[in-house]
Chains A and B, each alone.
Chain A
Amino acid sequence: MSTLLQVLVSGVLVGGLYGVISSGLSLSFGITRIVNFAHADFVTIGMYLSVVAVSALGSFGLFLTPVFGLAIGLLGVLVYLLLLRRTAVGATTEDEAHLPQIVITAALGIFIQSLLLAVFTSTDRSVNTVLDGAWRVGGLSLSKAQVVAFVIAAVAFAVLDLVVNRTEFGRGLRAVVDDADAAAMVGVNRRRVFSISIGIGVSLAGLAGGLLATYQTVNPTTGFGYLALAFVTVVLGGLGSIRGAFIAGMVIGVVQQATATYVALDLQNQAVWIGFLVVLLVRPLGLFGKRVMT
């Protein structure tokens, strides 16, 4: 029983970060329909910035994590404006418009991984902070870093949810998700909405990376490992549904922990992949989602 409880708690704690990474991707994907194959590499950038900050400033470096998140978000806006915006021009079909964007984001991901390899080498890096160790609550062991990261992730998600559902800007975002053409007709500035949504999405990835670095070693391809998880989470959560993505993130965290504990450690992702493929085929709308099939 206590094993089960531990599995649930650890799964939710880790899954909270998947949730933040994925709700960011879900927001930018739902709005721009760009499948960002570099999304998870921004997680890696966040992790390395955290490592650098903590090596320079000790545990105080962790306070810079939100700043790094914002900086990474600006980088995302630049990527959209410089690399992705123009390629949709002149496309005859929607697939046609998104293909160059998929290719460019895949290339961008390779570029980021290679740049990090050149700067930091392939050695695993980790940090020592005040968050090392665990709290013992009842029979449970709660990693301090995971708890703190989860709390910050939940706050970040709450802010995102408020912005999307309670502000005028968020109304524009939701309008674009529902019907981009109609939204443009009633005066939503599409280019601004697109670049800001990519910026927010990528900055959440960077923030999650900064938090992840407190309990996870990092090398240039660490983030890439989260890419497929983020895709799975976004689709399961339903296209463009950030709440769905956040909840699906925690579900996936629990599934991973349960598989790793009860089945085999190296199969923890397989359960997720198989679940994803089955859901995609049986219910291509995602668990809470909209129509994605032809």
Chain B
Amino acid sequence: MNLVRSAPGRPALIALAVLLVGWSLPFWLIQTQFILVVAISAAVWAIAAQGWNIAGGYGGLLSFGHSVYFGIGAYTTALLTIHFGLTPWVGMLVGALAAAIAGAITTFPALRLKGTYFTLATFVLTLLFADFATHFRDFTGGDVGLSIPFLRDAPEMFQFDSALTLYYVVVAILAVVTLIVGLLAASRLGLFLRASRDDPDAARAAGVDVTRVRLVGLSLSAAVTGVAGGVMLQSLRAIDPVTGFGANTAFVIALVALTGGRGTVVGPIVGAAVLIPVQQILSAQLSSAPPGLSGMAYAVVVAAVMLVERRGLVFLIARLARAVTAAVQARRPHRPGGSPAGGGDATRAATVPAQEIPEQQRSGS
């Protein structure tokens, strides 16, 4: 449960843990160049999903079109590099700003449309952007997209001597983003976001300016996802309409956060750490797996998590941890080394009340 509920002070610890665990992975887990590339990609999607988490997780604005902000971030960074030679370090921030403006504009439908209609509107919006990015080819490079010059070892231009260095940098950005999201969640704004998610009318009655809260929340959310787009551009050194604005990108961002555990600081990271390797290690383009296998495995994992614990993996892990603790505690005072059946009953008895809380709140919906 400690992972799930964040209090002030805790975000810094979580961000530090993300940094240390992330940086340690190449020493014991990531053994091949291929896995390293997968890990970079997972970290980028984790950043994007952290952005989604602000609006979708804490704010309850379930966007299936965060690729709009992702693509805006990527294209802005690329255009600034190509036309003005501007370093991506600054370009990404400009991209984040552009994405934030787009996020502020999408607040308008977010205020007017109820849950699923907002989801549909954002989904259609990203297809519109993908079509625009394809159509205005003088500006965006059309289907092919844009590519940025390949400079071997140029840290000032966000290009590094090796994939390993890039990985360290991306993990550091993920840790910073995680810190920001964690602090935000623990702040008054985070509280107001959750309040306007759970019951907008009650929040208004309690003096929360729902319009302003959603405006700020969605803009921040878009900015973070825009940064992820810029980082993706730097790791691929190219961006095209499908990678930037495509439906698949929209799905991945939302599904990573939702599978990991929306509205939790570590959820998007857990989601990316599980889903992206499943998707890419089995991918026919990247490895020698048969076509289609990666998509099937990815879909099965997502659906299975939703069926077992619809709040996401973080809550599933917390539930399992509670069950194990309860089993250990139940076993100790009675018979040491008691029968497995006895331990099993105790586990059930200890976990059932916890599960019943949502059941009792069940409404007629």
Q: In the bound complex, how far is the Cα of B295 from the Cα of A94, in angstroms?
A: 29
Q: Is the interface of A mostly helix, strand, loop or mixed?
A: helix
Min CB–CB distance B271 → chain A (angstroms): 11
Q: A113-B295, A115-B292 are in contact. Are A266 and B200 (CB under 8 A)?
A: no
Min CB–CB distance A261 → chain B (angstroms): 16
Which residues of chain A (258-294) have a CB below 8 Å from chain B? 264, 266-267, 269-270, 273-274, 276-277, 280-281, 284, 292-294
A277 lies within 8 A of B307 (CB): no
A156 contacts the other chain (Cβ, under 8 Å)? no
- Counting chain A CB atoms within 10 Å of each CB, the highest count among B125, B198, B254, B299 belongs to B299
Min CB–CB distance B311 → chain A (angstroms): 9
Q: A106-B255, A280-B109, A280-B121 are in contact. Are A92 and B361 (CB under 8 A)?
A: yes
A61 contacts the other chain (Cβ, under 8 Å)? no
Q: In the bound complex, how far is the Cα of B56 from the Cα of A103, in angstroms?
A: 13
A157 contacts the other chain (Cβ, under 8 Å)? no
Min CB–CB distance B247 → chain A (angstroms): 7
Q: In the bound complex, how far is the Cα of B358 from the Cα of A108, in angstroms?
A: 26
Option from B296, B302, B359, B364 in Cβ contact (under 8 Å) with A103:
B302
Stretch at the interface among A9-17, A80-88, A204-212: A80-88
B292 lies within 8 A of A267 (CB): no
Q: Contact size class for B?
A: 35 or more
- Contact bitstring B103-147, A, C-beta under 8 A = 1, else 0: 000001101111111011101110110011011000000000000
User: Across the interface, which residues of A come within 8 angstroms of B112, CB to CB?
Assistant: 281, 284, 293-294
- Contact bitstring A117-143, B, C-beta under 8 A = 1, else 0: 111011000000000000000000000
A273 lies within 8 A of B247 (CB): no
Q: Is the interface of B mostly helix, strand, loop or mixed?
A: helix
A175 contacts the other chain (Cβ, under 8 Å)? no
- Contact bitstring B55-79, A, C-beta under 8 A = 1, else 0: 0000010101000000000000000
Min CB–CB distance A188 → chain B (angstroms): 14
A280 lies within 8 A of B128 (CB): no
Q: A98-B116, A277-B125, A294-B200 are in contact. Are A86 and B292 (CB under 8 A)?
A: no
User: Across the interface, which residues of B come within 8 angstroms of A35, CB to CB?
Assistant: 116, 119-120
B365 lies within 8 A of A87 (CB): no
Q: A90-B359, A294-B114 are in contact. Are A110 and B295 (CB under 8 A)?
A: yes
A70 contacts the other chain (Cβ, under 8 Å)? no
- Contact bitstring B274-308, A, C-beta under 8 A = 1, else 0: 00000000000000001111111011101100110
A102 lies within 8 A of B116 (CB): yes
B362 lies within 8 A of A284 (CB): no
Q: Contact size class for A?
A: 35 or more
User: Across the interface, which residues of A come within 8 angstroms of B299, CB to CB?
Assistant: 107-108, 110-111, 114
B31 contacts the other chain (Cβ, under 8 Å)? no
Q: A90-B362, A121-B291, A293-B112 are in contact. Are A107 and B117 (CB under 8 A)?
A: no
Q: In the bound complex, how far is the Cα of B360 from the Cα of A220, in angstroms?
A: 43
Q: Which A residue's beta carbon lies closest to that of B116?
A: A35
B115 lies within 8 A of A277 (CB): no
A106 lies within 8 A of B127 (CB): no
User: Across the interface, which residues of A come within 8 angstroms of B116, CB to CB?
Assistant: 33, 35, 95, 98, 102
User: Across the interface, which residues of A come within 8 angstroms of B259, CB to CB?
Assistant: 103
- Contact bitstring B348-359, A, C-beta under 8 A = 1, else 0: 000000000011
Q: Which B residue's beta carbon lies closest to that of A118?
A: B292
Ranked 6 nearest A-B pairs via Cβ? A114-B295, A118-B292, A111-B299, A95-B115, A117-B292, A100-B310
9 residue pairs from A and B, CB less than 8 Å apart:
A92-B362, A93-B365, A95-B116, A114-B292, A114-B294, A114-B299, A181-B364, A276-B124, A284-B117
Residues of B bordering A, CB below 8 Å: 60, 62, 64, 108-109, 111-117, 119-121, 123-125, 127-128, 131-132, 134-135, 198, 200, 247, 251, 254-255, 258-259, 290-296, 298-300, 302-303, 306-307, 310, 358-359, 361-365
Beyond A87-B310, A91-B363, A103-B259, 8 extra complex contacts between A and B, CB < 8 Å: A33-B116, A92-B358, A95-B62, A98-B116, A107-B299, A111-B300, A280-B109, A280-B121
